Amino acid sequence: MLQIISPVDNRLYAERPLATTAQIDAVLAQARAAQRGWRATSLAERAAVLNHFCDLFETQRDEIALELTWQMGRPLRYSPNEVRGTLERARHMIAIAPAALDDIDCGPKENFRRFLRREPLGVILTIAAWNYPYLIAVNSVIPALMAGNAVILKHSAQTLLCAERFAQCLQRAGLPDGVFQVLHMSHEDTECVIRDPRVDFVAFTGSVAGGHAVQRAASDRFVGTGLELGGCDPVYVRHDADIAHAIENVVDGAYFNSGQSCCGLQRIYVHEKVYGPFVEGYVELTRKYALGNPLDAQTTLGPVVRTAAADAIRKQIAASVSAGATPIIEESEFAASKAGTPYLAPQILLDVDHSMPVMKEEIFGPVAGIMRVDSDEDAVALMNDTVYGLTAAIWTADEEAALSIGNRIETGTWFMNRCDYLDPALAWVGVKDSGRGATLSVVGYEHLTRPKSFHLRTKT
């Protein structure tokens, strides 16, 4: 059995049986067969089904939001935003599909017609994470379906009900049987499915270790993998930044979702000219968070996903402090923060350097390190001094400086005066240990299709 232990109150919220070997085989066979019919369905018909899915999903917003809070602990005041974001991405990917999937004319050539056509890969296995369970899954599920693929969704055990919500709404929207299916599987069975020749692509979101496991499982076959992995994302507050705006956004980027975001800010570099006022304002705003039961309307910071995660975060903080970092927040300032529970106070670490976990490891909790820098050159060197490269951000009034610095940063997304956001018109991509491949935008469709060249001689 897979069990959801709610971080809200540590009770069993839901449980589901693991799929048997026979059930897994049947799902794979049905997906393979159903995909043949789905790829023959017109793009307009696919769009009609998926737009209907969006409408149905939207009507369940409040129910989905409450269920989400119970599963992973995000404050209920914020959970509806995930429904909104999911629909924004889904509708955008549906809308751009005709252009993204259109034939590419290779230009005139006497007596010939030449073009490229994008064909669906076949069966897509999406393995989604719990921290943004709908937003992560939708990145591959909707464009994969729009492109004519069948999809099997294996969701995190912590948020397995989210996979079932997708299935229910897609079924009610009229998606043919077998085109989208859900499997609740063990890690071992998931590896077997990745190796199965009936799977044509794997879209994985999770840890770096998980990404390596997926890549190993896929290595015996010539099958593509899209890997959205970890991060230890940096931000640079430049000397000409709007400090009030920077403080408000950087604090939110570090602590929203209790810091459980692949693109959440963890390494904060501040120019020495504004270091003092920035730190003062950052600390003041952090202390205004209300840590508590996420079902309470006043709560702005919920628990992390489980007690074991809180314990691991505390160890990373302690290791950083042992290496010389100065902690600013006392846990006693947040009454709900208690050892042995998933409730954890936000933390700010000063006097940090790159020998410390806070500045080199993915902590995945409400923790950030703030470091003084004396120049743009210093900031660039430090921002690139990492094995990760998902997002990076700068706060500055100088757009040209932002572009110049951004060209030198090793990252998948570069922000100016904002952070921790996915625009569905832009590719979501990581470099180094943050992964490979891309989702969203027209580029995302390139990874869920294969090019097929048509070379027609019209006269002999």
Helix or strand run (H / E) with residue 429: strand 428-429
Q: What is the pLDDT of residue 128?
A: 98
pLDDT digits (tens, 9 = 90+) for 23-53: 999 999 999 999 999 999 999 999 999 999 9
pLDDT digits (tens, 9 = 90+) for 76-130: 999 999 999 999 999 999 999 999 999 999 999 999 999 999 999 999 999 999 9
- Set out the domains of the chain in order of their start, with CATH numbers: 2-229+432-457 (3.40.605.10), 233-423 (3.40.309.10)
Average pLDDT, the chain: 97
Q: What is the pLDDT of residue 460?
A: 85
pLDDT below 70 — which residues of the chain? none
Q: What is the pLDDT of residue 248?
A: 97
Q: What is the pLDDT of residue 21?
A: 97
Which are the contacts of 404, defined by CB distance < 8 A and separation ≥ 6? none
Number of H helices, E strands in the chain: 14, 20
- Starting at the edge strand found earlier in the chain, the sheet holding 391-395 runs 326-327, 347-350, 367-373, 265-271, 233-237, 391-395, 413-416
Q: What is the pLDDT of residue 249?
A: 97
- Pairing verdict, β 347-350 and 326-327: antiparallel
Q: What is the pLDDT of residue 360?
A: 96
The DSSP 8-state label assigned to residue 259 in this structure reads G
Q: What is the DSSP string of 37-52?
A: HHHTS-HHHHHHHHHH
Q: What is the pLDDT of residue 420?
A: 86
User: What is the rounded CA–CA span in Å between residue 28 and residue 183?
Assistant: 10
Q: What is the pLDDT of residue 266?
A: 97
Contact 8, 303 (CB under 8 A): yes
Helix or strand run (H / E) with residue 363: none
